[in-house]
């Protein structure tokens, strides 16, 4: 069996099982093997599964557990989707996604970080300015999180400014 066919079977099996984590394990192989169209489909399937899990979590009034592999992978997929919107200049869409994500996890550090993302997008701070002035990318890389988790002192100014304006974080 060819590597391409074998990979497609693994991807299909993971999709049928709703196994987002396994799809992320196969991500590098997909990049090395699939053409651009197939790769777009690969990520679309991850996102579809993530939205199914999001809907289920919201309907059950529960929170996702960052220590549970499928919840972790779901949060990652939804975060990457929100970042795509933010980097494309769709600040309102990104803000809405960040707001939902900030309340979706039982991980306090993740929730607090996403609130900063949400506020920055809500204030229409460009993604580039967010990266340059609010996020601390080097510290985030050292922390090893899939999301921007470390911030510069400018982030506190954003919080203070919003409190001054009477907006709730």
Residue 131 lies in a domain: yes
Partner residues linked to 105 by β-bridges: 64
Q: Which of 31-40, 73-82, 150-159 has the lowest mean pLDDT?
A: 150-159
Instruction: State the average pLDDT over residues 42-52.
Output: 96
153 closest CA partner among 123, 133, 126: 133
Residue 149 lies in a domain: yes
Residue 60 lies in a domain: no
Helix (H, G, I), strand (E, B) or coil at 150: coil
Per the structure, the count of domains in the chain is 1
Residue 11 lies in a domain: no
SS (H, E, C) 107-167: CHHHHHHHHHHHHHHHCCCCHHHHHHHHECHHHHHHHCCCCCCCECCHHHHHHHHHHHHCC
Confidence grade of residue 154 (pLDDT, cut at 50, 70, 90)? confident
Inter-axis angle of helices 69-87 and 108-122, nearest 10: 20
Instruction: State the average pLDDT over residues 18-35.
Output: 93
Please write the tens of the pLDDT for every residue from 119-133: 999 999 999 999 999
Residue 49 lies in a domain: no
pTM higher than 0.95 for the full model? no
Residue 147 lies in a domain: yes
Residue 30 lies in a domain: no
Residue 17 lies in a domain: no
Q: What pLDDT was estimated at residue 166?
A: 57
Q: What is the span of the domain harbouring residue 104?
A: 91-169
Q: What pLDDT was estimated at residue 156?
A: 82
């Amino acid at each position: 069996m060819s590597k391409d066919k074998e990979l497609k079977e693994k991807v299909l099996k993971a999709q049928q099982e709703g196994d987002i984590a396994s799809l992320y394990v196969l991500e590098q192989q997909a990049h090395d093997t699939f053409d651009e169209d197939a790769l777009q489909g690969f990520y679309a399937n991850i996102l579809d599964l993530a939205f199914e899990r999001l809907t289920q979590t919201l309907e059950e009034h529960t929170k996702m557990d960052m220590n549970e592999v499928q919840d972790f992978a779901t949060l990652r997929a939804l975060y990457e989707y929100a970042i795509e919107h933010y980097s494309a200049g769709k600040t309102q869409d990104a803000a809405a996604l960040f707001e939902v994500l900030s309340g979706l996890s039982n991980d306090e550090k993740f929730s607090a970080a996403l609130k900063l993302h949400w506020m920055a997008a809500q204030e229409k701070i460009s993604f580039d300015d967010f990266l340059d002035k609010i996020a601390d990318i080097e510290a985030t890389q050292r922390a090893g999180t899939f999301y921007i988790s470390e911030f510069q002192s400018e982030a506190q100014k954003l919080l203070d400014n919003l409190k001054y304006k009477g907006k709730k974080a």
